[in-house]
Amino acid sequence: MLFFKIISFQKAVLIESGFFPSLINRQRRLNINLPSAYSVDEQFMDMALEEAKRAEEEGEVPVGAVLVSQGQVIARARNRPIALSDPTAHAEILALREGAAGAGNYRLPDSTLYVTLEPCAMCAGALLQARVKRLVFGAEDPKAGAVRSLYFLLEDERLNHRVDVTGGVLREECREILRQFFQDRREEDLRQGLQRSPRS
């Protein structure tokens, strides 16, 4: 008997081939991908993680993004609000700007954006304005995420465009780079505080 192996966020599930139509519906509902699609997502997310590491080296919050169209990378970006003195310079926004400039079109209807952290409301709005077809993100953002954590902006049926969403790709790797960054920052703040404190 044939089985189809599908990959969820943390585990593999085997489903009999006789239930393939229901598998497709379940895949869409749970945002899980067949192995081949998932491995491609991992490859592009690896590139986004490379951008996140560059942001970390520059003292920015380590978030990276890669924009893909027809299987080709058309833009790569990382968080740069400090370097550019620009509160809108999130990785997603910069990737969309670069991709749109290269395409000569402010609409990017056949594109997929890969980003290491769930987009905020600003970035989710930009994805809708650019008519991006699909979003793939790594780690959830419980404090500012506007795709799954706090809001579901990209799937709101009241809007005239919706974006297909896949979350949790390389989740642990994306979480770890953020966790380590903020831990290092807290430790540095503590050291500086101790240095400023008067000796007893």
Does the annotation mark 57 as catalytic?
no
- From the list 57, 92, 140, 176, the catalytic residue is 92
HSE (side-chain half, CA atoms, 13 Å) at 103: 22
Main-chain dihedrals φ then ψ at residue 138, nearest 5 degrees: -90, -80
Sequence-ordered strand ranges (E) for 34-108: 64-69, 72-78
**Hey, what are 115's tokens?**
């980003």
Please enumerate in sequence order all residues whose Cβ is within 8 A of that of 143, keeping only pairs 6 or more positions apart, or say none: 149, 150
**Hey, what are 185's tokens?**
């920052």
Specify the DSSP element, H or E, that contains 95.
helix 91-103
Q: Which amino acid is at 155?
A: E
Residues belonging to the active site: 92
